Amino acid sequence: MSETGRFVWYDLMTTDLPAARTFYGHVTGWAIAEAGMPGTDYSLARLGQVPVGGMMTLPEEVRAQGGRAGWMGYVAVADVDAASAEVSEAGGTIHRAPADNPGIGRFCVAADPQGAVFVLFRGDGPLPPAPPPNTPGHFGWHELHARDWEEAFVFYASLFGWVKTEVVDMGPMGTYQLFGAPGPDAGCSGIHTGGMMTNPQVPAPFWLYYVTVEDIDAAGSRIIAGGGRIVSGPHQVPGGAWTIQALDPQGALFALVGPRASA
């Protein structure tokens, strides 16, 4: 099955790589080590033998332009250059033009018309198979906090072929629109890739990535013990799972999702 339109990788840009490696290893159970890429400090996070994501130091030039620590998600496309052109034509921004990462693939750092950043990616070879849903230690949910989720959905649907699935009424907080990636496991089958919401409270739109954990309360305790800060949760979401949104010690926002053993 084609991976086009699916989140396939995640990178953390951080101001203190050794501290970030220690923190996330403790919170998520990842084994994190240098990737051995010449000329970089890139580290790989693995769960067992399976790569989960990467980490690197936030470049000085990015900091000088106001860049802050944060996670970025990679979405697979058939043609990075063509997708980059589509982003620009639709009113988005290209922060880094398409470039090759030898032996890995071609990528481009982009932002939607409202400013949320993501990465376009095409691998040089087959991508690892996606883990079964709700597998602890893997990224299990993708959430867009937008200025206007309806306009945002039009942009992403055109770019990636995403389809609307269920709608969750959040009362005073508005509508939470679930979406699925293209393919037979999206849409009517009920398998979801993520959700979008209008969030006027945030200073700028962003993507938030959720790591699945076995016990949300135990994981929350590890966040605090590791020097992070919980900013929201635990909250129960439709389907019975619980979520936490948090900041790591370097200020990067991330989230966790999983069951509550005491519930």
Give the pLDDT of residue 184: 52
Q: Give which of 62, 9, 69, 60 is closest to 35, Cα–Cα.
A: 9
Name the CATH superfamily, with its identifier, for domain 139-258. 2,3-Dihydroxybiphenyl 1,2-Dioxygenase, domain 1 (3.10.180.10)
- Whether the domain at 7-123 and the domain at 139-258 fall into the same CATH topology: yes
Q: How far apart are CA 109 and CA 124, in angstroms?
A: 17
Q: Where are the domains of the chain?
A: 7-123, 139-258
Give the pLDDT of residue 186: 42
Q: Is 7-123 in CATH node 3.10.180.10? A: yes
Contact assessment for residue 206 and residue 68, using Cβ atoms and an 8 Å cutoff: no
Give the pLDDT of residue 192: 66
Three-state DSSP class for 232?
strand
Give the pLDDT of residue 183: 64
Give the pLDDT of residue 94: 97
Question: What global pTM score does this model have?
Answer: 0.93
Q: Give which of 205, 230, 204 is closest to 217, Cα–Cα.
A: 230
Give the pLDDT of residue 226: 97
Residues of the chain where predicted confidence (pLDDT) is lower than 50? 1, 185-190
Give the pLDDT of residue 190: 39
